[in-house]
Structure 1
Amino acid sequence: MLNTSKNNINTWQEFAKETNGAFVEGWSWRSDSTVIDYKNWKIIFDNYKIWSGKHSTDMTRVVVPISLNDNFRFEIYREGFIRRIEKFFGAQDIEIGIPDFDKAFTIKSNNEFKIKALLRNKEIRDLIDSQTDLNILISDQKGIWENKLPQNEFELSYFADGEIENIETLKSLLSLVKALLDELHQMKSIH
């Protein structure tokens, strides 16, 4: 599945060039992708089509296979209408004590101390805040929506509606993922 914009530039090919990543051509129903080696991790950028009956939605996703040293899990997403309704009806989230950030994002985790420590990092908060559409989590599902991963395998995952074709936005996402990996490693949550 070719990811091209109006002027026939393949976003993933261009992004691979800009980041010294590897371009991987898609096949069958898989989109083209960019794979970036960072320290001991492989950061994979691609598009994914979610099907619901006859209708589909294109998504951009970033996936990094990780090994957890502990069972630290989290999900951070930008507030939206549905999320505000969930909160109104009692859905719980964690507040980190920075009012603007707490108002803009819903934060869920199985370890309140660790998520607050992770988000004390101003660079990470700024990179999160710079994303117009943000859903980032540690998942036990392959590629977020595929099969459940084998026991003790996880992925740091990001997804957004639509196909992101802006290289600068993709570079900003790459910076966010790298910063999260570094901080999670420093916190001894991942190898």
Structure 2
Amino acid sequence: MAKTKINIWEEFANVTGGKFVEREENWLSDKTEIDYNGWKIIFDNYTLCSGKFQQEMTRVIAPMNSIDNFRFEIYRNGLIRSIEKIFGAQDIEIGRPEFDKAFIIKANNEFKIKSLLQNQKIRSLIETQKEVNLEISNQKGVWESELPKKQLELQFYADGEIKDMEHLKSLLNLFKELLDNLYQIKSIENLKAYR
């Protein structure tokens, strides 16, 4: 029987030269894995379940070996985030007024996040995203178990299934820029360098 439905992850793998991986477990989706300079960037969907509530999410994940445990969170500013700020939640300003107004930035190293976000290409790629939930975390796959010491993941997630190829390519470019810059500021190792 011929397939009639286009599989976005198979198509994205073909367009980017990545590897298409079919679903391994019932609750996981198919995925695209892209090797980039010794890192693996993984695109998939995840069904977030809580009681009767179910939400399909798009995830982009890049596992990394941390040198300095540098972590950050960047979210688009909205009503809930504004209320958190009113009640004392601290965020970092990078000295770019439009970016500072549009995003909530948290990090455990203010100098490094400011250095990272001085890169115009990174800021532009973040600004083009309608929904921004971008972070470095010690939680596997955003919502799963805690990772072993010195292992972190660069993560992006958004509500729903992202099916627009240009949007997915933009996220891939963002991850490539972030990984290169995190390596340059000596926050992560490049496994390719050890081969």
With the length of structure 1 as denominator, give the TM-score of the two structures.
0.95
Please name the residue that 1:26 is paired with: 23
**What secondary structure, in the 3-state scheme, does the structure 2 residue paired with 1:87 have?**
helix
Please name the residue that 1:17 is paired with: 14
1:169 has 2:167 as partner: yes
In structure 2, give the amino acid aligned to 1:116: K
Please name the residue that 1:130 is paired with: 128
Match of 1:76 among 74, 77, 81: 74
Q: How many residues align?
A: 186
In structure 2, give the amino acid aligned to 1:38: Y
CA distance in 1, matches of 2:187, 2:146: 21
Which runs of structure 1 show a deviation greater than 2 angstroms over 4 or more consecutive aligned residues? none
Please name the residue that 2:108 is paired with: 110
Q: How does 1:1-191 map to 2 (within 5 A)?
A: 8-27=5-24, 28-191=26-189
CA distance in 2, matches of 1:79, 1:161: 16
In structure 2, give the amino acid aligned to 1:26: R
In structure 2, give the amino acid aligned to 1:16: A
Unaligned runs of 5+ in 1: none
Asked if structure 1 preserves the Cα contact closer than 8 Å seen for 2:67 and 2:150, the reply is: no
Structure 1 residues 88-134: Cα deviation after superposition (integer angstroms, max 9, x where no partner): 11111000011110010000001001100000000000000010011
CA distance in 2, matches of 1:121, 1:30: 34
CA distance in 2, matches of 1:80, 1:19: 33
**What secondary structure, in the 3-state scheme, does the structure 2 residue paired with 1:150 have?**
coil
With the length of structure 2 as denominator, give the TM-score of the two structures.
0.93
**What secondary structure, in the 3-state scheme, does the structure 1 residue paired with 2:29 have?**
coil
